[in-house]
Every structure is written in C-alpha cells, then in structure tokens.
C-alpha cells in the first residue's frame, strides 16, 4: 500500500509538472525535398518520443521502400497519406504534438510544393515560430523566400533557418556561411531581426538534439535546445479579450451560453464585454469550460460565455472587451495571398470568412503585387496562384476587426469561391478605409409596396443570358411591347446599348465582363426598386457573376432566363458578322469562340431559340411571369 501511495504521488507530481509546461507552436516549411518531415521525424526519435511498436513498423516500412542495413526513413513518421508516401512529398499539413523535459510542442509539418501553398498558410496561421528548412546543396530558393515572407505576413516574428544535409557538403563552414549571408540579406530587408541559423544533418541527427561533434566550428545551440528555451512572447494573451461566437448552447436552467474559441486576451467572470457589430454592452455571468464553471478563461481555450441578460447574439458575432475599441468597416486594405488555380478576378463576388462570420466581398484590382525574391512592388491587374498583393476589399456589410499586426484572430480572413466553396485566398487586414463611417444609407418614406400599387404590378428583373446571336435582344423587344400593351411598366437594358454609354470604358477581358455585369445589376436593382419590370439582355457568360446579380437584386425579384441556341446555330446566323471576325482573330475574348460561356444549369425559364420563334419564346417568358411569379398579385 505505501508503494502504491508513493506511486500515485509520483504520478500526480508528474502530471502537475507536465501540464504546467509552456507550449510552443511552430511550423516547418521550405522547398520540396529539403527534408522537413525527416527533420521532425528524427527530432522525435532523438528525443526518445517514438514508441517501440511505432519504431518497429517504421523500420518495416523503410525496408519496403528500399532502405538498407536497418536504416530508418524518418519522414514516414509524418507523411501519413498514401499519396505522400507514393510521391515522397508532403501534401497536407501534418500536426504532431510532443513534449520534452523543458516544454510542450505542437509542430505543423507543411508541404513545400507551390501547389499546396494554402496548406502551408494554414499551418503558419497558428504558429509562433517558423523553422525554414533548406537543402545546403541547393541554397536559398524562391520557395525559401516565399515561405519566409508568408510566415512574416502571417505574424510570425521568430525564425530559425535550418541548413540541412550538411553531410553532403562535407560539413563545410564556408558553404554554410555563404548561405547564411544570402538569407540574412533577405530577412534584413523584410525587417526580421529575430532569427538563428543552424547547420544540421537531419539524416544523421547532427545538431538536432545535441551539438554535433563533426561541426566544431558551430558554437550555437542545437535545434531542440533552442526550441526549449526560445521566448516568442505572448501576444494573444496581452491583447484585450476577443471571441467569435461559434454556436449557441441552451443550458438546463434555460439560459444561453455563447460558445467559441478565445482568440485573444483573457476574461474573468463579471467582466464587461461588447457584442459586435450590434454594439450591445453586457457583462459575463458565467464562464463554462469542458469540466464545469471557470472563474477565468484565456486565449486558445474553448469556452461558453453566459451573459447577464438574454441578448440577441448569433453565430458570427464577436464578444470583445471594451478596453480597446474595435474597428468596424465595410471597406479596408489588406494583404492577400492568392491560392487558387483560377486567378483573382477584380469585381467578382466571393465570400469572406473572418472568425465565424461570413459575408460577401468583392476585391478591387490589386494596388500592386510583391516579388518575393526582391520584395519589389509590381503593378498588376489581378493575382495568379501563389502571388501576394495589396488590395482594397469591399464587404456587403460592415465587419468588426482589428489590424492583423495587433491581433490575428480578428485581423485574418479567408476568401472562398462561391461556386466551388474552396478556399481561394487568405488575407490580413491592414486598416479600414472608413467607408462605412462616411457613407450611410439614406431612407425615404415611399415604399416599394406603394410604388407597386401605383403601377398595378410587382417589379421583376428578367435576366436573359445566352450566346451572342441567340436572340436575346429580339425577344426582349417583343416582351417589352407585349408588356406595354398589358399596362406593365417595363424597360430593356440591352448589353450593346449599355456599352455605348454607361459601360463604354469597359472592354471584353474577364475583369471587364465582371464589372459590366456588376454595373448592370446595380442599375437593374435601382429600376426594380422603382417598381419597373427590367428586361436585361446580356450575354453575362459567367455563372459566378449571374449568381452575384441574383444575390444583389434578390431571389424574389430575379428571374434567370436562358435563351439557348447551339454555337453552330448562332454562328450560322452571325447577323452582325462577329463570329467570322472572332474566328479570323479580329475579335479577342469572344464568348463561345475564345472565351468560355457557363450555360445555366437550373434557369427559371429555358427557351430554345433555335426551334422556337421569337414570338413563342416571348410568350413562354411572359406566361411564366404572370402565372408562376404572379406579377399582378399585390
């Protein structure tokens, strides 16, 4: 019994010491084949943190991959996906948790290939320190600089340049010094002043856990020794309390707890908070953790907050300490990292997610992009994959935020493609452009209902899309005439006519087509608000832009009409001679020939203009409007 009691005491002491250890989150990044996974795998092995059964499996896997003499391929500890093992590269972020006598660690092993930059950014977004790895035989490469720059953009201020594979250059100090000199010049220009360079051989364990006997000329710390003692500060803890509401929990006593991850700062029971963007002041009645009530919560804890009253709080609202005022804006400047294979199209509508809040957003043409090798500012009209630019963004409603330099959780966002729901980009807010403070909506007393009653019908926007020559303008003309005879106030917004005036400054590039649709949608919305039935006759080739128009105008008012005709039919008509010019190269970016057309998959009305007369097409659309949309029902 005494031995059991002593053992329990030892275990309790061990657990107490264990959970009191400091936590360091760091990332490993760099080019493909620089040895990131091998480095971390070897680090775990040298730290005696790999279980015997795992080690045995690792030896077997290594042997199957061709290792000889019992050698271990330590990258297999982290490259867990079958595709990663097959290709010998890291594809996804691999997180590993481990602890030593001095500290606990969470390491994000990230891919080096350009195609997977978004995964690298994901890993860096929560890291406090970056290990930038490079292959000594290949030196400082573009990807080395890009990853360093991305880490710096994402707020990491402590860097370790690990110069790997020193065994392949005979552990040469001169080679190491030359690389350090080149990298130091780059990070000096970037403004990084907290970095260390360590020569290692991840394959043989030199300078990982202990100093290498071979590289006596190196007098700095071994990598693990440095990681155990480096001070990266506690920026998130020192900032005022911030927590995005993720979900609402109904408690047994009927009260509601607003659950989320504390993104910054600390909160005590009884503290005051402000609910943004609603601007409601409240105080904290309870803090609920996984094991019960708490008196205190800090950054990186998941908790439920119960307020002193039953306020209107929903997912995406931000609970914040009022000691530092939050910014609130619907237009701001940000640094954007583009990660999609499809380029960033200025003016196109995307989704922006900041914390748990999701809003619509459009991005203006970048002010400039950044050459990651020279850090020069380069003029551009869009961003390609892996490019980094400074842009102005406009959201469809004001969002609360802090500058990213001050708080990551309320200053970072991602941009999501509306069609594919994939992450297209990531950004860091620099500052608000004060648009929401300077421009406010002016409300008038006359309502849409009054205007509709006056006209005798409800408004609508008939958005007619189709290839050039499909018959949109002809059908629109007939529709307007029929509506006039029925006493319906209608007006046609024709694509060609608009380009003679409102949109005469626009060309036919993708960016200009997006802006063309945006302007027409804004005008149609205003005319519909005046009570008019608007007939838009516009090629509008991209599904994303027609969706933007529908969201802007409203689903109840918007009617998508697809005037369908095969390319061979419209090309045979070629009433304006445009297809012939496009085929001969006289007209670039012509829809259907050298520019794509996204046919609607589920239009409200589909008319086949190749087999029906324009009169029949117009009648189908009019019947839909009167019978299915109840245009005259007020």
Nearest to 308 by CA among 278, 289, 284, 324: 284
For the chain, helix (H) and strand (E) counts, in that order, are 18, 29
Known catalytic residue at 540: yes
- The dihedral built from the CA positions of residue 489, 493, 494 and 499, taken in this order, carries a sign that is positive
φ and ψ of 478, to 5 deg: -65, -40
Q: What DSSP assignment string belongs to 145-157?
A: HHHHHHHHHTT--
Residue keyed to tokens 């290792």? 67
Nearest to 618 by CA among 628, 631, 605: 605
Asked if 466 and 562 count as a contact pair (C-beta separation under 8 A), the reply is yes
Three-state secondary structure call for residue 16: helix
Cβ contacts of 209 within 8 Å, gap of 6 or more: 43, 46, 47, 222, 223, 224, 225
Label the pairing between strands 292-294 and 280-289. Answer: antiparallel
Label the pairing between strands 272-276 and 318-320. Answer: antiparallel
Neighbours of 333 (CB within 10 A): 16
Label the pairing between strands 292-294 and 247-250. Answer: unpaired
Angle, vertex CA 610, rays to CA 605 and CA 616, nearest 5: 55
**Cross-strand pairs, 161:** 132, 197
Torsion angle of the four alpha carbons 295, 296, 300, 305, in this order, in degrees rounded to the nearest 10: 60
Asked if 130 and 124 count as a contact pair (C-beta separation under 8 A), the reply is yes
Asked if 331 and 433 count as a contact pair (C-beta separation under 8 A), the reply is yes
b/e 539-575 (16+ beta carbons within 10 angstroms → b): bbbbbbbbebbbebbeeebbbbbbbbbeeebbbebee
Q: What DSSP assignment string belongs to 93-119?
A: -EEEEEE-SS-EEEEEE---SGGGHHH
Catalytic residue among 31, 473, 540, 595: 540
Three-state secondary structure call for residue 46: helix
CA 352 – CA 337 distance, rounded (Å): 13
Tokens of 330: 């619907």
CA 232 – CA 250 distance, rounded (Å): 39
Q: What share of the chain is helix, strand, coil (3-state, %, to 5)?
A: 30, 30, 40
**Cross-strand pairs, 606:** 562
CA 596 – CA 590 distance, rounded (Å): 8
**Which residues are identified as catalytic?**
540
């Amino acid at each position: 019994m005494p031995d059991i009691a002593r053992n329990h005491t030892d275990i309790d002491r061990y657990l107490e010491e264990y959970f009191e250890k400091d936590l360091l989150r760091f990332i490993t990044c760099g080019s493909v084949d620089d040895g990131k996974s091998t480095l971390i795998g070897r680090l775990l092995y040298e730290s005696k943190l790999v279980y015997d059964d795992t080690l045995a499996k690792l030896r077997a896997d290594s042997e199957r991959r061709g290792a000889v003499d019992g050698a271990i391929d330590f990258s297999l500890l982290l490259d867990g996906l079958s595709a990663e093992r097959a290709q010998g590269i890291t594809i996804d972020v691999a997180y590993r948790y481990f602890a030593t006598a001095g500290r606990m660690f969470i390491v994000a092993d990230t891919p080096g290939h350009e195609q997977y930059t978004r995964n690298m950014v994901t890993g860096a977004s929560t890291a406090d320190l970056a290990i930038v790895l490079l292959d000594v035989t290949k030196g400082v490469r573009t990807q080395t600089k890009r990853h360093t720059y991305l880490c710096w953009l994402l707020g990491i201020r402590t860097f370790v340049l690990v110069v790997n594979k020193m065994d392949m250059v005979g552990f040469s100090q001169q080679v190491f010094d030359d690389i350090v000199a080149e990298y130091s010049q780059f990070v000096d220009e970037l403004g990084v002043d907290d970095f260390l360079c360590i020569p290692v051989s991840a394959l043989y364990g030199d300078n990982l856990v202990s100093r290498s006997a071979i590289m006596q000329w190196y007098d700095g710390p071994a990598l693990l020794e440095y990681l155990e003692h480096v001070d990266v500060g506690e920026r998130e803890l020192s900032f005022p309390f911030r927590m995005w509401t993720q979900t609402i929990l109904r408690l047994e006593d009927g009260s509601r707890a607003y659950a989320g991850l504390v993104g910054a700062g600390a909160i005590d029971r009884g503290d005051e908070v402000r609910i943004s963007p609603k601007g409601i002041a409240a105080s904290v009645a309870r803090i609920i953790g996984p094991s019960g009530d708490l008196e205190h919560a800090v950054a990186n804890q998941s908790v439920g907050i119960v307020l002193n009253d039953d306020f209107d709080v929903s997912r995406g609202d931000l609970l914040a300490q009022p000691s530092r005022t939050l910014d609130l804006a619907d237009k701001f400047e940000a640094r954007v990292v583009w990660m999609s294979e499809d380029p960033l199209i200025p003016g196109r509508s995307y989704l922006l997610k900041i914390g748990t809040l999701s809003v619509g957003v459009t991005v203006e043409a970048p002010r400039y992009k950044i050459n990651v090798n020279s850090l020069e500012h380069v003029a551009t009209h869009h961003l390609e994959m892996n490019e980094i630019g400074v842009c102005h963004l406009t959201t469809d409603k004001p969002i609360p935020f802090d500058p990213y330099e001050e708080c990551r959780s309320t200053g970072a966002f991602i941009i999501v493609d509306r069609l594919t729901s994939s992450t297209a980009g990531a950004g860091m807010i620099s500052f608000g452009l004060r648009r929401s403070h300077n421009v406010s909506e002016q409300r008038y007393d006359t309502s849409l209902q009054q205007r509709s009653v006056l006209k005798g019908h409800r408004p609508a926007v008939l958005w007619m899309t189709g290839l050039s020559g499909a018959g949109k303008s002809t059908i629109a003309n007939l529709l307007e005439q029929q509506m006039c005879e029925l006493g319906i106030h209608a007006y046609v917004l024709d694509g060609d006519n608009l380009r003679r005036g409102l949109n005469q400054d626009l060309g036919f590039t993708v960016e200009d087509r997006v802006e063309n649709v945006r302007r027409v949608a804004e005008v149609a919305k205003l005319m519909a608000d005046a009570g008019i039935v608007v007939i838009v006759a516009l090629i509008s080739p991209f599904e994303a832009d027609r969706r933007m128009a529908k969201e802007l105008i409203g689903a109840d008012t918007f009617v998508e009409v697809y005037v369908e005709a095969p390319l061979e039919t419209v090309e045979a008509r070629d009433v304006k001679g445009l297809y012939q010019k496009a085929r001969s190269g006289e007209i670039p970016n012509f829809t259907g020939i050298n520019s794509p057309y996204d046919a609607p998959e589920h239009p409200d009305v589909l008319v086949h203009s190749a087999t029906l007369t324009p009169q029949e097409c117009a009648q189908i659309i009019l019947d839909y409007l009167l019978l299915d949309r109840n245009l005259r029902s007020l």
